[in-house]
Chains A and B, each alone.
Chain A
């Protein structure tokens, strides 16, 4: 396994390790979804997880904030073991924003209420502060004018931007993106990727499961290639996309018409 942490290929490696995956194992019955995954995420990095469907990328992301439990190995978040009890999990999830493939906006709430819900219910900020944060976050994703709209009245790209705003309203240390553009019409993918790019430029630490290779290449600081529950190769984007060292990575990229 190539660990290039100390090299100049990983300029943000000087930052603290925010998430450490230590030989993470996850099984569903007889199926092994993660067969020992080791990966570090440093402060301010954008780490992209790529690979074929069913290779374990999303599973790893869902283990990160405890939506799935792990069966072996360990995950450290900000220096502490991943909590197993509900209280510990909740405290940890407040510091990790998550964006889902299918947005999962709350359909009974307006865009503003969706974004204000976390601060109100979880952080107990009070209504005024929650609304102030919601307005600021919606403006940040370019949807200030849609605050009063229900999700059903928004396009897919707009819904996903609201979902990003909802996660940001908790002022997380890390953002987890689970295939954020896979459910979108091609013409709205760009607006979501632009918001993510802007977030990366601000220095947000991000773990992104994606099939958007151009995003991984342009925005990613570090790319991990998954196959059958393992990371077959990880490195800076120029290595992965221009000089992949494993046959499996070359295969995967050529299937996507990338080479």
Chain B
């Protein structure tokens, strides 16, 4: 068997577009899932009983479904339920956001719960309101604790965006598979795809390691 690596170079523009789409998809998902995750965490911690139950149900549902199932579900069922036809990209973004929001909600909730009660009491004893204690004392500490977790979620998400290729979102995995189908250069394209994911993912993982060291909690 002979290899023809020129196929990778020939399709460099398409691969570059796919790579950029993967990166943008990761950024957009996190941009949605961080505030939404905070909101769901707040609902679970401070909401009235029915709100809390709803938020808990949401988190437990999407945290425990395979992501690829959510992607298919968003693609086939969401348009029927909502009567809105979204582009594959928007559908993929929605599926990823539903999943990562659930994870982030759990991360934020655990982070806030990890701040011991004495901290809130010290804030209240100064005369702060509960909201001030949360904003000035609890949340800043919780954010430091969850930052390393969010960073690992980011790295997982970066790789998991490849799952939306099943609904024809033109990100890196989908583009690579398309080129493979047209050229029959299976090994070359899979290798190129692996190399791109790895070259982008490895530095991110190193940054996560650095964040975990930098924000290690010391009391």
Residues of chain A having any CB pair with chain B under 8 Å: 65, 67, 86, 90-91, 93-94, 96-98, 100, 102, 104-108, 117-118, 121-122, 151-152, 166-167, 170
Contact = CB atoms under 8 A, between A and B. Distances in A.
A108 B126 contact: no
Contacts of B121: 67, 100, 104
Given A100-B118, A121-B132, A107 B126 contact: no
Contacts of B4: none
A167 B121 CA distance: 13
Contact of A117 (B118, B130, B136, B141): B136
B127 A94 contact: yes
Nearest to A176: B125
A98 B118 CA distance: 12
Contacts of B219: 107, 151-152
B61 to A, nearest CB: 34
Nearest to B127: A94
Given A106-B137, A151-B219, A152-B218, A118 B118 contact: no
Contacts of A107: 141, 217-219
Interface string B1-34: 0000000000000000000000000000000000
Interface in B80-113: none
Given A102-B118, A117-B136, A121-B132, A93 B141 contact: no
B156 interface: no
Given A108-B140, A122-B132, A152-B218, A91 B118 contact: no
B119 interface: yes
Nearest to B218: A152
A259 to B, nearest CB: 35
Interface of B: 118-119, 121-130, 132, 136-137, 140-141, 144, 217-219
Contacts of A67: 121, 124-125
B128 A90 contact: yes
Contacts of B218: 107, 152
Given A100-B121, A107-B141, A118-B127, 19 more contacts: A67-B124, A86-B130, A90-B127, A93-B124, A93-B125, A98-B125, A100-B122, A104-B121, A104-B122, A105-B122, A106-B119, A107-B217, A107-B218, A108-B140, A117-B126, A121-B128, A122-B128, A122-B132, A170-B126
Nearest to A118: B126
B129 to A, nearest CB: 6
Contacts of B132: 121-122
29 contacts: A65-B125, A67-B121, A67-B124, A67-B125, A86-B129, A90-B129, A93-B124, A93-B125, A93-B127, A94-B126, A96-B125, A97-B125, A98-B122, A100-B118, A100-B121, A100-B125, A104-B119, A104-B121, A104-B122, A106-B119, A106-B137, A106-B141, A108-B140, A108-B144, A118-B126, A122-B126, A122-B127, A151-B219, A170-B126
A118 B122 CA distance: 10
Nearest to B219: A107
